[in-house]
Structure 1
Amino acid sequence: MTTEQGRATRTRPNLLVTGTPGTGKTSTCSLLASATGLRHINVGELVKVKSLHDGWDAELDCYIVNDDLGLHGS
């Protein structure tokens, strides 16, 4: 489906699951995706694989996500 401006319109929902590390978010989302036919995207893994970050934050034990990098086709 597309809009009059030629942009694709969403036909399925985007669900964002956040929470404390180690609580089962990835496992739960994988099961949810399997049960519903939705696609599961692990944002942390995507940031790492596509280098959408400005380095590693040792204190927070995570990548420093750069939201602007994804806009340039990385």
Structure 2
Amino acid sequence: MNILVTGTPGTGKTTLCQRLSEQLHLNYLHFGSYARNIPVLQDLWNEQIQCYDLDDEAENMIMDEMEPLMEQGRCIVEHHDARPFPERWFGLVIILRSSTEQLFDRLSSRHYSQEKVQENIQAEIFNICKEQAEESYSPSIILELQSNTLDDFNSNVDLIQQWLSSHQFQQ
């Protein structure tokens, strides 16, 4: 079984993936890191919005790099968009949600431009990441979790471990 963690930037995907990777002995795969490590994709970096402008061909190149590990299983993947991946890759899809106040503070502390902060807050308000996940995966494997506080984080780790145990995920 593999796990996908998705959500608007600033919702805590990286922190959650790192914790679950350590506790469950999973391979942590950050989609954006693959883009940084494929030389031909470096021209797709958009300096203005500080991210890659990936088209379908670029996403497919990244997934081709990821596929051997995904086929082995026991991976946790982080990406803000749930759509590019084959449905068969994941047995659990986690959508992290945060309040707009938390997102504003977190994204501002990263020194994102006001345009990028507002774009991400709008994405959270309009449930973009949730809609993308629900378009791509069965509701039976989706967990939507609030991620505003340290208590939320700890509770989420426990809920995910309970979900995995009840679905025979071997640690």
1:25 corresponds, among 3, 6, 13, to 13
What are the ranges of 5 or more consecutive residues in structure 1 without an aligned counterpart?
1-12
Superposition TM-score, scaled by structure 1 size: 0.61
Greater relative CO (CA pairs within 8 A, separation 6+): 2
- Cα distance in 2 for residues equivalent to 1:24 and 1:57: 23
- Return the structure number with greater strand share: 2
Identity between Structure 1 and Structure 2 (%): 33
How large is the RMSD of aligned CA atoms in angstroms?
Answer: 2.4
Cα distance in 1 between the residues matched to 2:7 and 2:48: 17
In structure 1, how many angstroms separate the alpha carbons of the residues matched to 2:25 and 2:40?
Answer: 27
Q: Would you say 1:68 and 2:60 are equivalent positions?
A: yes
CA distance in structure 1 between the aligned counterparts of 2:28 and 2:59, rounded to whole angstroms: 19
- Distance in 2 (alpha carbons) for counterparts of 1:50 and 1:67: 11
Equivalence for 1:38 = 26
What is the TM-score with the length of structure 2 in the denominator? 0.30
Displacement of 1:62 after TM fit? 1.7
Equivalenced residues, count: 60
Contact 1:52 1:67 in 2 (8 A): no
